[in-house]
Amino acid sequence: MLFKQQAWLRQKLLVLGSLAVGSLLYLVARVGSLDRLQPICPIEGRFGARGQAEFPLRALQFKRGLLHEFRKGNSSKEQVHLQDLVQQLPKAIIIGVRKGGTRALLEMLNLHPAVVKASQEIHFFDNDENYAKGIEWYRKKMPFSYPQQITIEKSPAYFITEEVPERIYKMNSSIKLLIIVREPTTRAISDYTQVLEGKERKNKTYYKFEKLAIDPNTCEVNTKYKAVRTSIYTKHLERWLKYFPIEQFHIVDGDRLITEPLPELQLVEKFLNLPPRISQYNLYFNATRGFYCLRFNIIFNKCLAGSKGRIHPEVDPSVITKLRKFFHPFNQKFYQITGRTLNWP
């Protein structure tokens, strides 16, 4: 009898031990795979003075999961209250440029403990149907965060859509605006490459880049081609400057973000009045992919989707020369307006 009781007790202890280990592994995997473990990070600048506004680093998917459980009735109100979660309107928006590196910039900024990103492009300000749903609809599309954190979203179409500057101004006239740009000809070819890949997936044919970028009737650059128009950065920026002063914009060098991401990210931290938190530890070069990946902690690393860094088709050098000559005066004006000179040919 005593032997049976001892055996039963050992079996119970084994089960309880397995459950404890399993729970611990689950929590580590869940937190680690989301963002990072939770040390304390002070926030400075307009988001609070150092030492006054401290909050734990987030594990946003865990928080979203907690709120989801609460809505289903599986989590107490006290648990949710302890998380102190809110859905905030963005204090900064990456407004463009398409194929400039907006996704990479957003994911890299998400390394900062004070930054919370909207995972999807919301297209609130450039889509009339979405905009008609109102600002509360937009707010509810934002991720959960601590009040001391800042939310950032990105929708590259904002930069080139005529109605957007006024709409964002009406929401927040003091918002910070991030524009990431690449050398205009390279960006246009990248834009074409993405569209071409989409056509090929559907077994559809598509014109060569040269036929789209150059008007066959005049043999001049075809400004009706959207990929060309998008790369005339100064034309779009001038529309934004009717509503926002240049001090509310920060230009990110998308070409440098590929090769030397840390200095660019540090400039953004300064622009957003954030304490420096992103370091070289958070960025490592992946030789297989050919670009930098992200390290959140010892458990969780992340590379951008395989669709990033597509191989561009070969383009007639004379067409590239013609495009660069066309963009040159616009680039010079862009440098003058923004106060940032980029190493473009």
- Which residue ranges are tagged as binding site for 3'-phosphoadenylyl sulfate? 99-103, 182, 190, 292, 308-312
Annotated binding residues, written as ranges, equal 99-103, 182, 190, 292, 308-312
Label residue 116 exposed, middle or buried (CB < 10 Å: 0-12, 13-18, 19+).
Answer: buried
Pick the catalytic residue: 63, 91, 99, 154?
99
Q: Is residue 77 annotated as part of the catalytic site, yes or no?
A: no
Dist CA 10 CA 97 (whole Å): 63
Dist CA 47 CA 273 (whole Å): 8
The alpha-helical segments, DSSP class H, found in the chain are 2-32, 60-71, 77-83, 102-109, 128-131, 135-140, 164-171, 184-201, 209-213, 226-230, 233-240, 254-259, 261-271, 317-338
Q: Give the Cβ contact number of residue 237 at 10 Å.
A: 23
Residue the block writes with tokens 């995997």: 29
**Could you give the C-alpha distances from 230 to 24, 90, 143, 234, in angstroms and in order?**
50, 24, 29, 10
Active site residues per annotation: 99
